[in-house]
Amino acid sequence: MQKEVTNLFSKRTIYSAWVVFLKKICIDKLERGRVYEIVNVRDKEHFCKLLNGKVSIVEVKLASIELSIERKNAIEGVIIRYHPINCLTPCANIMYCKPPGLFKDDKIKIEKILGPICCMGGKDLVKVISSPLLEK
């Protein structure tokens, strides 16, 4: 019976179906522009047609992100909507005012307040560690 089934499909068809299956698992579940943290690397390896090499399956979660927010919104444990700091004054803190991995109106939870940021634009800002809370 197994022989009959394998004759119905070419190796290419089975391989293509496997690639589509892996793509649904490893690529389609991730969102472009987000920052992820690897929490586990599995032992099993697969060949990736896209990368033309072996890849390991990993488990990921959204990474915590350091960012700046207005002091009045900086309360540990609170959930707020993220709004990037719009500033026309270039400074060394731009990476906290517009951090990678967050988009306007994302829900975030303030995990920890790290301290004040010296804003060249005169805004009252603090640096915090936040966890993105994506809506499903």
CA 99 to each of CA 64, 73, 94, 104, 135: distance values in angstroms, whole numbers, following the listed order: 11, 17, 8, 11, 19
The reported pLDDT for the residue numbered 5 is: 39
Of 130, 85, 134, 70, nearest to 107 by C-alpha is 134
Question: CA 108 from chain center: how many Å?
Answer: 13
Domain edges within the chain: 2-62, 65-133
pLDDT tens profile 42-79: 888 888 777 788 888 888 899 999 999 999 999 999 99
Both tokens of 67, joined, read 């960012």
pLDDT tens profile 102-135: 999 999 999 999 999 999 888 999 999 999 997 7
